[in-house]
Amino acid sequence: MIIWGSRGRETTSGGGRFFCPSCRDDSAYQHQKVKNYFTLYFIPLFPMQTLGEFVRCQSCDGEYDVKVLDLTRETFEAATQPWHCSSCNNANIADQSACVNCKAPRT
């Protein structure tokens, strides 16, 4: 009897340093790829397809889309900092496009 199948397996394809959104610091990372391997008697022989890829922070073990490598500390801080309304000076969360107090648009 021949036992064959497939199984997903992570492989490291690189690494470096990046700004981690969870640590909020420059940290080491590993670029991981998940591939589907053909198995014979439960032994992975060769990859059949790449299922996905991600970045894993070595400090906090957080897993992120590879787009996080384009993120800098400045762009992250700008996207998460509250903004103040020019009309009523109300502090609003970063993703609001208009003031929650007076409905004035973000400028």
Which residues, at least 6 apart from 50, have a Cβ–Cβ distance to it below 8 Å?
Answer: 33, 34, 35, 36
- Please give the mean pLDDT across all residues of the chain: 91
Q: Kindly list the structural domains of the chain, giving each domain's residue range(s) and its CATH number in brackets, ordered by start.
A: 4-70 (no CATH), 72-107 (2.30.30)
Comparing 55 with 76, the larger pLDDT belongs to 55
* Least confident range of 26-35, 50-59, 82-91: 82-91
At residue 80 the predicted structure's pLDDT band, cuts being 50, 70 and 90, is confident
At residue 77 the predicted structure's pLDDT band, cuts being 50, 70 and 90, is confident
The pTM score is 0.68
Q: Residue 76 pLDDT > 90, yes or no? A: no
Q: Residue 56 pLDDT > 90, yes or no? A: yes
